[in-house]
A and B are shown apart, each in its own frame.
Chain A
């Protein structure tokens, strides 16, 4: 059969146009074209494999197979092709084909089970991780916010063929488990651009959350494994390709309902695939929302948008332009002490809300809008050379709101001085009366907005010499309480280049260079005057302490006594600028019996703070530019994989390297001054991993041992200390701490029958400190070093990074009729709370009898109770043509449901931390007790997707 003759002139016309516009084009020189068809089946069961995608690197085109594993591709120019088979965005196999006649029928193509993603999860649309990509439950740790938003997406790509990683991504991560005890350090790339924020280390997943449909093409590597995309990190990397040419032609609509951070999600995606003229476009949009999330007073309101346009210029050049944005607003919940949880009888108590205008108003709102544009060019020379060059620009705003007050009653709803425990030792009667009142009316522990408004409205004041003008009197209601935003205005430019050179079949050389310029303007912004007329940019604590010298209380001496109105900056105001460059090279040698790889990376990073306020307390070192510390880093790694036979492998990887400290760990107190911490040196690490894996049609096993040693790490924790001696933000600087992460990882998947699969995974690990670092405490309200340079005895204390032992066992049934059900039982242990190093000092031990009960209470580290959970998921796909002949063949409907914590256990403490404030005068560890977060009870996520 020959392609319809009448189509040929059209095609010629298109091609001629192409040639005219792109004179270098030679792609379509071959004018004859053909059709290719076939069907994929599983090797063992002969069952069709649905939802695979075929990628033609030469044409830069991607095609989707249908529900029954069938594919029919039309208009392929004659020639030889290597075709990559992709599942869920990841290449799982490849084959070669020669198109030399009008119709090339491949008939049945069989794929071995071990190449496929876990059979129980073989349907992409049905794969719902326990927490979806966009989940943004925030954990508040002191005043540092840790977000677990990226947990599930982490590693999930490499998870496909690895039963252990599968368990980490979909089962362990939602329970605050961190692979190898490392958080925030996985590299995330999008089309050749490194997305990790060099200031904070993490990748802001919420800037593209909700775009799951188009963020599925990814390659990843776990641990120290090599990857031609980048040198990687201690925990590996994940690289997305979101260009339109990577999206199969498809329209997708989905609706989900859940009781997690949001209740509803709608996603719409349409991708054109690469058209005959070489253009491809893809758009996606979603909305996720909840009036109330899992805990009271939280809401979630997020949109996301994505557009990509790609053009295959010729067989050598292609380029794409991608933009995406995910404006998200959500109300946060926080941690609390046992006392508060007990009083309110609610493990999801949220101190951030209070009644106003008949609704629960939350004071801590996070807003993000940070669009990113990425322009990418790819150059191919046959299949030997691939050069990718990318340029990206991001601009955006991240806001986190909170209450602020000036000479007023502390507005925090669970302020410790208001709780019964504060009275317990001095006045038990008062304590018990107070407890009873709170038990009868738990809403006493919510924010009292009305009181703040009414006080603000009545606080008439006249500010003399307002705005620094002598004699200028400013009259009105001065707000005692305001709602303020911590604002970060980000501008970021990145340029990245990646070269992959296939010297021969056995040797792949890759190299890359990446540069980032980032500027973030950080300031406090007045969001709401809460009924008042104005606020004054002054430091209240200093004003009260240094009565004789009022200029010390000026937050900005250049604009003294400045009247602050809604939208104005106040409090702190500075610009952080950084340049980060690195380059790397890698060699991967694939010999008959073994694979060897080695890579080297060098980097250069420099930081600068520019203060925009001349702080009265730090008049000489707050305004203008800081010193510019720079860091030269290097890393080297090497690995070997030995093939015992086609199914059994041994491997070992080693890495030694240095890494610059993060920018927010270099300046003592960027909010007030330019001072750098003393001798900030790059962190050093030595890392080893080695293990065995087996891949056979029936069994997959992975056993890995790892050890990571980290030295000279810097950790600055900042929090508000309302001790009468401080009453300010304090910066708790711990330098030169050493840590060790060692452990074993085990994953097994066993196919009992073509329909039933058993899986099990375990992680047994230890992450702990290995030395006695030094701690210094710096106050934002005091020019003196207050905490000295104290040695803290934290050697052998565990890191508070979630459960260090995790186990799961599960069974899945995958029916012939396109439905599956999977159940997992999980067990977690050795979840230690984050310690307060100041409690492990000589001072804390003074006057305490060694080995007494009190001694152990102060010094021992609390281990949270072990717990087990059960997760259940299931799904079905329906071919709509069955219902009505009028519906096209490729139209299908996917239904899925996942339930986590099926037993609805609401008593699981998922994380905890000791408050950094400690009662040295009485050595009473209960005065500022630890705070915890409970894992959410039974939650579900139900999804319905229509694809056509």
Chain B
């Protein structure tokens, strides 16, 4: 009987001895701090190495860094974010939706550029992955992000560059992709511009012409998939903050969100 009891107890001990791990402690937010990588070159330098057209592979060990100035939260930017390091700005093509969760406006990132490609998309510079047969570079595949992109701290601020419309009606190369701020702008034709954009099944994107009081004009281009496409822009006059882009030689503005437009003053005409 004694043996029986002992063996029973032994087995019961075994019974409860093996714990299976089912609780996991959460990763520390410290991982989001700026690792302080040395920056090898500026974005302006990177741009100067791009050549004048087509794509080009970056073969040197270069690292750039910058702060996200535009993301895809409103879907007006598609599979890309734009970073700015104070010298220039560059769109980074990345293959996923909802990039803004990982790369929201204000987040600093480092990019190990070796193996990536620069390209001109209708004369607009961009940084991405290997080119396809048509010569367009692909967004960086999601699974390879960690090979190229190092995330740093969030919450940095970037001040838009104040310019007047007259300065940028002809494409100004050094301002491309940068966040600019212009005052005293208004929608040219209030009767037709009911919404920021037509739905995507009618048109992939819609242009609205903005003018200043001197009748200088620029297009505001909004995607048909954008979450504010069905919002009616204010018809007053005022300040706009937007990304300065170009399509071939036509400069255009791309809005990050409607709060970047403050057309609250009375129109010039």
> Is A504 an interface position by the 8 A CB rule?
no
Known: A409-B101, A457-B29. 5 other contacts (CB 8 A): A361-B24, A407-B101, A438-B143, A445-B143, A531-B27
Q: Which residues of A contact B104 (CB under 8 A)?
A: 458
> Is A433 an interface position by the 8 A CB rule?
yes
| Given known A253-B7, A548-B230, contact A409–B96 (CB-CB < 8 A) | yes
Please state if A268 and B8 are interface contacts (CB–CB under 8 Å): yes
| Given known A437-B143, A453-B27, contact A409–B98 (CB-CB < 8 A) | yes
* A455-479 near B? 1/0 per residue, CB < 8 Å: 1011100000000000000000000
From residue 111 to 169 of chain B, which have CB atoms closer than 8 A to chain A? 115, 129-133, 138, 141-144, 147, 154
Please state if B11 and A253 are interface contacts (CB–CB under 8 Å): yes
In angstroms, Cα B142 to Cα A423, docked, is: 12
Q: Which residues of B contact A253 (CB under 8 A)?
A: 7-8, 11
Partner of B22, one of A329, A427, A445, A450: A329
In angstroms, Cα B24 to Cα A359, docked, is: 8
Partner of B101, one of A329, A356, A408: A408
Interface residues of A (CB under 8 A from B): 251, 253, 255, 264, 266, 268, 285, 287, 289-291, 299-301, 329, 356-357, 359, 361, 365, 407-410, 417-418, 423, 426-427, 429-430, 433-434, 437-438, 444-445, 449-451, 453-455, 457-459, 480, 530-531, 544, 547-548, 946, 948
Partner of B132, one of A264, A427, A444: A427
In angstroms, Cα B21 to Cα A707, docked, is: 49
Please state if A423 and B138 are interface contacts (CB–CB under 8 Å): yes
Please state if B31 and A450 are interface contacts (CB–CB under 8 Å): yes
* B25-58 near A? 1/0 per residue, CB < 8 Å: 1110101100000000000000000000000000
Q: Which residues of A contact B99 (CB under 8 A)?
A: 409
> Is B18 an interface position by the 8 A CB rule?
yes
Please state if B29 and A430 are interface contacts (CB–CB under 8 Å): no
In angstroms, Cα B144 to Cα A758, docked, is: 57
| Given known A266-B14, A423-B141, A544-B227, contact A455–B20 (CB-CB < 8 A) | no
Partner of A287, one of B15, B25, B97, B129: B15
Q: Which residues of B contact A255 (CB under 8 A)?
A: 11, 14
> Is B71 an interface position by the 8 A CB rule?
no
Please state if B21 and A356 are interface contacts (CB–CB under 8 Å): no
In angstroms, Cα B128 to Cα A433, docked, is: 13
Chain B's closest residue to A405 (CB) is B98
In angstroms, Cα B228 to Cα A499, docked, is: 71
Please state if B22 and A444 are interface contacts (CB–CB under 8 Å): no
CB<8 Å pairs between A and B, sample of 10 = A287-B16, A289-B20, A291-B20, A409-B142, A427-B132, A433-B144, A437-B143, A445-B143, A450-B31, A454-B31
Partner of B141, one of A408, A418, A948: A418
Please state if B227 and A454 are interface contacts (CB–CB under 8 Å): no
Please state if A458 and B32 are interface contacts (CB–CB under 8 Å): yes
Q: How distant is A340 from chain B, measured CB to nearest CB, in Å?
A: 12
> Is B214 an interface position by the 8 A CB rule?
no
Q: Which residues of A contact B85 (CB under 8 A)?
A: none
Chain A's closest residue to B128 (CB) is A430
> Is B95 an interface position by the 8 A CB rule?
yes
Q: Which 8 A-B pairs have the closest CB atoms?
A: A427-B132, A429-B130, A357-B24, A301-B20, A430-B130, A450-B27, A455-B101, A444-B143
Chain B's closest residue to A438 (CB) is B143
| Given known A408-B101, A409-B102, A458-B154, contact A417–B143 (CB-CB < 8 A) | no
Range class of the B interface residue count = 35 or more
Please state if A429 and B29 are interface contacts (CB–CB under 8 Å): no
Please state if B29 and A454 are interface contacts (CB–CB under 8 Å): yes
Q: Which residues of B contact A285 (CB under 8 A)?
A: 15
Q: Which residues of B contact A948 (CB under 8 A)?
A: 4
Please state if A356 and B14 are interface contacts (CB–CB under 8 Å): no
In angstroms, Cα B136 to Cα A427, docked, is: 9
Please state if B144 and A547 are interface contacts (CB–CB under 8 Å): no
Q: Which residues of B contact A423 (CB under 8 A)?
A: 138, 141
In angstroms, Cα B8 to Cα A426, docked, is: 66
Q: Which residues of B contact A291 (CB under 8 A)?
A: 18, 20-21
In angstroms, Cα B143 to Cα A445, docked, is: 8
Partner of A356, one of B24, B98, B147: B24
In angstroms, Cα B11 to Cα A266, docked, is: 7
| Given known A357-B24, A361-B24, A454-B29, contact A459–B141 (CB-CB < 8 A) | no
Q: Which residues of B contact A408 (CB under 8 A)?
A: 98, 101
Q: Inter-chain contact count A-B, CB under 8 Å?
A: 120
Secondary structure type dominating chain B contacts: mixed
Q: Which residues of A contact B8 (CB under 8 A)?
A: 253, 268
Chain A's closest residue to B96 (CB) is A409
Interface-centre pick from B4, B142, B143, B147 (highest chain A CB count, 10 A): B143
Interface-centre pick from B4, B20, B131 (highest chain A CB count, 10 A): B20
In angstroms, Cα B21 to Cα A453, docked, is: 19
Q: Which residues of B contact A356 (CB under 8 A)?
A: 24, 27
Q: Which residues of B contact A438 (CB under 8 A)?
A: 143
| Given known A264-B18, A268-B8, A544-B227, contact A429–B27 (CB-CB < 8 A) | no
Q: How distant is B257 from chain A, measured CB to nearest CB, in Å?
A: 14
Please state if A429 and B131 are interface contacts (CB–CB under 8 Å): yes
In angstroms, Cα B32 to Cα A549, docked, is: 37
In angstroms, Cα B144 to Cα A255, docked, is: 47
Q: Which residues of B contact A426 (CB under 8 A)?
A: 132-133, 138
Please state if B143 and A407 are interface contacts (CB–CB under 8 Å): no
Q: Which residues of B contact A290 (CB under 8 A)?
A: 20
Interface-centre pick from A299, A408, A438, A548 (highest chain B CB count, 10 A): A408
In angstroms, Cα B144 to Cα A438, docked, is: 9
In angstroms, Cα B203 to Cα A756, docked, is: 80
Chain A's closest residue to B132 (CB) is A427
In angstroms, Cα B31 to Cα A268, docked, is: 48
Please state if A417 and B95 are interface contacts (CB–CB under 8 Å): yes
In angstroms, Cα B180 to Cα A357, docked, is: 43
Q: Which residues of B contact A430 (CB under 8 A)?
A: 129-130, 132, 138, 141
Q: How distant is B27 from chain A, measured CB to nearest CB, in Å?
A: 4
Q: How distant is A59 from chain B, measured CB to nearest CB, in Å?
A: 28
Q: Which residues of A contact B24 (CB under 8 A)?
A: 356-357, 359, 361, 449
Please state if B130 and A433 are interface contacts (CB–CB under 8 Å): yes
In angstroms, Cα B143 to Cα A125, docked, is: 51
Chain A's closest residue to B140 (CB) is A430
Chain A's closest residue to B73 (CB) is A407
Please state if B18 and A531 are interface contacts (CB–CB under 8 Å): no
In angstroms, Cα B99 to Cα A444, docked, is: 18
Interface-centre pick from B14, B21, B104, B154 (highest chain A CB count, 10 A): B21
Q: Which residues of B contact A410 (CB under 8 A)?
A: 96
Chain A's closest residue to B200 (CB) is A724
In angstroms, Cα B59 to Cα A310, docked, is: 81
Chain B's closest residue to A299 (CB) is B20
In angstroms, Cα B99 to Cα A480, docked, is: 12
Q: How distant is A325 from chain B, measured CB to nearest CB, in Å?
A: 15
* B216-238 near A? 1/0 per residue, CB < 8 Å: 00000000000100100000000
In angstroms, Cα B16 to Cα A449, docked, is: 29
Q: How distant is A648 from chain B, measured CB to nearest CB, in Å?
A: 50
Q: How distant is B225 from chain A, measured CB to nearest CB, in Å?
A: 9
In angstroms, Cα B32 to Cα A301, docked, is: 35
Q: Which residues of A contact B95 (CB under 8 A)?
A: 417-418
Q: Which residues of A contact B22 (CB under 8 A)?
A: 299, 301, 329, 365
Q: How distant is A326 from chain B, measured CB to nearest CB, in Å?
A: 14
Q: Which residues of A contact B144 (CB under 8 A)?
A: 433-434, 437
In angstroms, Cα B14 to Cα A433, docked, is: 50
Q: How distant is A782 from chain B, measured CB to nearest CB, in Å?
A: 16
In angstroms, Cα B98 to Cα A417, docked, is: 14
Q: How distant is B100 from chain A, measured CB to nearest CB, in Å?
A: 9
In angstroms, Cα B97 to Cα A454, docked, is: 17
In angstroms, Cα B8 to Cα A356, docked, is: 37
Q: Which residues of B contact A299 (CB under 8 A)?
A: 20-22
Interface-centre pick from A290, A427, A449 (highest chain B CB count, 10 A): A427
Please state if A454 and B15 are interface contacts (CB–CB under 8 Å): no
Partner of A427, one of B32, B115, B138, B143: B138
